[in-house]
Structure 1
Amino acid sequence: MRGFGDLEAEIMDRLWSWDRAATAREIVDDLRQRRPLAYTTVTTVADILHTKGWLRREKVGRAWVYRPTCTREAYTAQLMHQALETTSDRAGALLHFVDRMSGDEASALLAALEQVKARDTG
């Protein structure tokens, strides 16, 4: 799994932030507030994201309505897992990762580990 390209990331960011389905027209109109962009470019990239499995789509009238197939958090977790698979020393990589965490991030990690432990033992 690769990370998203620039426009793919912008489209996914909008859909995750909005937390609802949206048409390509809504996405284009929002993106155009920052830069000029063709409607067909956005529809093409949305179709690519659909083909890759990142978006589901449904026909509403004449327009496709797009919704992410996973949360931003699930996507981030997949990227983190993929990064760990690139090394034979996962413990070392995790140590470097944790060493760069803020106190709040470390607390969140500890809380997540406790949840997993409780789920696995309960």
Structure 2
Amino acid sequence: MKIHSFKFYEKGLKRFFGPLESKVLDILWTHPNQSIKEVQKKLEQQDEHLNFNTVMTVMNRLVDKGVLMKKQAGRASVYEPVHSKEHFLDIQSREIAHELLEDFGPLVVNHMLDALEEADAEMIEKLEQKIKDLKKER
């Protein structure tokens, strides 16, 4: 699944989705297999008072985007994420990294390395190991 919209100046899930979509996804990652009504109630607990049709529209759009699955549970439909939050973020960050490398090549690598000045020692160690592994493969 490729998300076609990336908002550079947002944070977290809002880089990929609208604010309400992000809230719905967070609810379903925490509590999968929820009906529209159940998600609506959880949104109300977050002071988001939305009508049923609005929540239904958002959830069905997330199904259309390939982020949620919809299945029948008796008379109601329940929704669950296609991937865990961690796996979704892994897929998207990998896609972004590949596109940046394709478009900007060495420039993006240099900027990522510059950003490592703020990284902890563990992240730098992982990067060093990854580089060693890549060299062995070639």
What is the TM-score with the length of structure 1 in the denominator? 0.74
Question: Which amino acid in the other structure matches residue 93 of structure 1?
Answer: V
Which residue of the other structure, out of 81, 88, 92, is the alignment partner of 1:68? 81
Structure 2 residues without counterparts, runs of 5 or longer: 6-15
Q: CA deviation at 1:99?
A: 4.0
Q: CA deviation at 1:62?
A: 2.1
Offset from partner CA, 1:48-88 (integer Å, 9 cap, x none):
11111111111112211001111212221232233220453
Which residue of the other structure, out of 36, 50, 53, is the alignment partner of 1:24? 36
Q: How does 1:91-102 map to 2 (within 5 A)?
A: 91-100=106-115, 102=119
Q: Distance in 1 between the 2:71 and 2:29 partners?
A: 17
Alpha carbon RMSD of aligned pairs, Å? 2.9
Q: SS in structure 2 opposite 1:58?
A: strand
Identity fraction in percent: 27
Q: Distance in 2 between the 1:95 and 1:88 partners?
A: 14
User: 2:123: which partner in 1?
Assistant: 106
Pick 1 or 2: higher relative contact order, CA cutoff 8 A, min separation 6: 1
